[in-house]
Amino acid sequence: MSDRKRPVDQIGQRAAQSDVCLIVEGCYPYVPGGVSSWVDWLIRSQPRTTFSIVSLWPKPMGLKSRYDAPDNVVSFDSLFIQQFGAPPRRRSMSPAAVSALGEALTELMTQGGREQLSIVMRQLASIGRGAALEELFNSPAAWSIVQDMYRREMPNGSFLDYFWAWRALLSGLFAVLKHPLPKAKVYHTISTGYAGMLAARASLETGRPSILTEHGIYTNERRIELLMADWVADTIDKGHALDDPRFDLRDMWVRAFEAYARTCYEAASDVVTLYRDNQGPQRNLGAREEQLAVIANGIDIKRFSHLAVAGPDVPPTIALIGRVVPIKDVKTFIEAAHLLAPRVPNLRAWIVGPTEEDAGYYAECKALVEA
């Protein structure tokens, strides 16, 4: 294999088809970490297998590729899920067709499932995918659909907040349904979410198998982020009640990601995770027993066998090893270290990991340490 250094995102399209299309979201090749390192290892450990890569991001971030591509990476493409919704081309599309497509998309967003995605794709094929989605997104029918959904699901909340959340969710889904698919023998996604929806669509559209390797449960991670997020408005005051049945914006986002996960699980031929406890949430969202497998993310402990065991004179040390981002909850580690310090003399607390992904959060963590 060549020793040339080529940033992954400068590969472009170098082959008509690859053996494997890897679909990644919010990580490789721009953000170093466990998943990105695993993707890089997967590619390099199979030099005779060719890979194409589709990398999903909210929008262009101006990030620099942190990984060089070996020769078996034959194409790279970015999919920006927030870059959808440009004014449509004017074309003839019956109100009935727009309404039917809107209802099918609503079912896909709220319930999910392989068959529901198949229905949407058949409707799009009959009327032209790209223009149909753009027309629906900007049509009077869409306005009627969002009003109906609001009255049915969140009548006690803010319609303005509901409208923009609905539009954001569907724009991401539309971007996935419209994006050109690389040709490959198998489609391998590293999460559910929008990446999983693209893999499910690829499997249905091409007849090729899709595989999911889920390192962390995507729906759980998004649920945590949504609970912590200050950009999601609380449109209903539920007080301290944990069993309030009223539907709010956070519920809407979580339900959509659960629907997308259900679609991905049902479409995948194999659903792999790192440890058995992850399989419970996968089963709950539709993964079948015969799909499930565990491949542990093993560590070669022999690499560290030469390291000396710390002696009694070494200060007690605790470490958080991971990216400095909200999902890792670094602030709680800092607070815990602060509470522990008076009880453990000479305590050292280390945070080891990249900091550039979320500069604002990194600054907040530094300020908390210095406070």
Nearest residue to 19 (alpha-carbon basis) of 68, 76, 73, 69: 73
Q: What percentage of the chain reaches a pLDDT higher than 90?
A: 56
99-155 tens-digit pLDDT: 788 888 889 999 999 999 999 998 888 776 666 677 777 778 778 888 888 888 888
Amino acid 84: pLDDT: 67
φ, ψ at 32 (rounded to 5°): -70, 150
Quickly state the pLDDT bin for 243 (edges 50, 70, 90).
low
Quickly state the pLDDT bin for 367 (edges 50, 70, 90).
very high
Find the range with the poorest average confidence among 157-161, 260-264, 331-335.
Answer: 157-161
Quickly state the pLDDT bin for 240 (edges 50, 70, 90).
very low
d(CA 19, CA 291): 21
199-226 tens-digit pLDDT: 999 999 999 999 999 998 999 998 888 8
Quickly state the pLDDT bin for 78 (edges 50, 70, 90).
very high
Does residue 9 carry a pLDDT above 90?
no
Amino acid 310: pLDDT: 84
For the beta carbon of residue 47, count every other beta carbon within 10 angstroms: 11
297-318 tens-digit pLDDT: 777 888 889 998 888 889 999 9
Contacts of 220 (CB under 8 A, 6+ apart): 281
